[in-house]
């Protein structure tokens, strides 16, 4: 290849990657995918749901479970099948302590869109891993990296799943100050919100990583939200109290 073309292509790739990173960090693209999904409940009372993606992690999930137990709060964990197979005891603890497990694909490999066969396999493989570990069958699916098209949503629905996104993004994977996360959520929270956190991973991976800020955020955040009168529900409880799906 001509050196000039090579350099031009390289610059173009770097530029696109940079734009993509900016969009992911500063704009929540999940907002564009809300149609035909459950991303926020239409409720009268002050109820919200905490959700944690990408776990279980043998390091961070137990600390998050400790914080939730201390505050007597239930949450929903959108687990990766691969991590459930790796840490089945932690998945069992999630269920034993009254939380819910949702399906977040088997290994989070989707770059943007899956092929139909891949999508079904990712969901089924995760479903099986959760079943093997806990005996529970997952019924809520949250797409990795929040990219889904309308055809994929229909396929997922036909498999008996509700696609669950979020209405409030803690951005805990790019925010390095727990006090900022608390302030941001307290300022923006509304009844019916589904709040996104992560219990594994970091900016460049989904296993392990550093979720220290997430762990530190929880006690203070839950305390403040309870002080504002909020109650914490699992996704199925929030779905039950939902009057009509927004977006449906
Ligand atoms: Zn994820």
Q: Of 168, 152, 213, 173, whose CA–CA distance to 21 is shortest?
A: 173
- Identify whether the C-beta of residue 57 lies closer than 8 Å to the C-beta of residue 83: yes
CA neighbours closer than 13 Å in the CB half-sphere of residue 110? 26
Cis status of the peptide bond prior to 93, with omega within 30 of 0? no
pLDDT of residue 248: 44
Considering just the CA atoms, what is the radius of gyration of the chain in Å? Answer: 18
Q: How far is ligand 1, taken at its centre, from the CA of residue 201, in Å?
A: 9
pLDDT of residue 14: 84
Q: How far is ligand 1, taken at its centre, from the CA of residue 170, in Å?
A: 13
Q: How far is ligand 1, taken at its centre, from the CA of residue 108, in Å?
A: 6
SS (H, E, C) 29-67: HHHHHCCCCECECCCCCCEEEEEEECCCCCCHHHHHHHH
Spatial neighbors of 238 by CB under 8 A, at least 6 apart, are 41, 43, 47, 48, 49, 192, 194
How far apart are alpha carbons 236 and 98 in whole angstroms?
Answer: 12
Question: What does residue 88 show for φ and ψ, rounded to 5 degrees?
Answer: -65, -30
pLDDT of residue 38: 97
pLDDT tens digits, residue range 93-106? 999 999 999 999 99
Q: What is the pTM of this model?
A: 0.89
Q: How far is ligand 1, taken at its centre, from the CA of residue 78, in Å?
A: 8
Low-confidence ranges of the chain (pLDDT < 70): 1, 22-26, 111, 202-205, 244-248
Spatial neighbors of 247 by CB under 8 A, at least 6 apart, are 34, 35, 36, 37, 38, 39
pLDDT tens digits, residue range 106-155? 999 876 777 888 999 999 999 999 999 999 999 999 999 888 889 999 99
pLDDT of residue 188: 97
- Identify whether the C-beta of residue 40 lies closer than 8 Å to the C-beta of residue 185: no
List active site positions.
53, 198
% helix, strand, coil for the chain, step of 5: 50, 15, 40
Q: Of 71, 68, 87, whose CA–CA distance to 79 is shortest?
A: 87
How far apart are alpha carbons 27 and 114 in whole angstroms?
Answer: 22
Return the axis-axis angle of helices 60-71 and 88-96, rounded to nearest 10°: 10
Q: How far is ligand 1, taken at its centre, from the CA of residue 60, in Å?
A: 15
Structure tokens, 9 = 């292509």
Question: What does residue 120 show for φ and ψ, rounded to 5 degrees?
Answer: -60, -40
pLDDT of residue 23: 66
Structure tokens, 182 = 């608390």
Question: What does residue 209 show for φ and ψ, rounded to 5 degrees?
Answer: 65, -160
């Amino acid at each position: 290849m001509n050196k000039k073309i090579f350099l031009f292509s390289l610059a173009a790739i770097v530029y696109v990657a940079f734009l993509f990173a900016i969009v992911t960090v500063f704009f929540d693209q999940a907002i564009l995918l809300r149609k035909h999904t459950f991303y926020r409940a239409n409720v009268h009372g002050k109820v919200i749901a905490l959700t944690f993606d990408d776990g279980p992690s043998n390091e961070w999930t137990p600390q998050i479970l400790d914080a939730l137990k201390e505050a007597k709060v239930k949450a929903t964990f959108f687990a990766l099948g691969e991590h459930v197979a790796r840490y089945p005891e932690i998945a069992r603890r999630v269920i034993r302590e009254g939380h819910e497990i949702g399906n977040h694909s088997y290994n989070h490999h989707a770059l943007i869109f899956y092929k139909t066969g891949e999508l079904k396999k990712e969901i089924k493989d995760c479903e099986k891993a959760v079943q093997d570990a806990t005996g529970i069958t997952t019924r809520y699916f949250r797409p990795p990296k929040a990219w889904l098209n309308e055809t994929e949503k229909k396929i997922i629905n036909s498999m008996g799943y509700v696609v669950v996104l979020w209405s409030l993004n803690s951005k805990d994977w790019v925010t390095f100050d727990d006090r900022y996360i608390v302030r941001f959520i307290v300022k923006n929270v509304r009844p019916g919100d589904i709040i996104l956190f992560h219990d594994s991973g970091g900016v460049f991976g989904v296993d392990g990583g550093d979720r220290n800020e997430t762990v530190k955020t929880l006690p203070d955040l839950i305390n403040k939200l309870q002080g504002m009168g909020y109650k914490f529900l699992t996704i199925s409880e929030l779905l039950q109290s939902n009057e009509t799906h927004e977006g449906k």
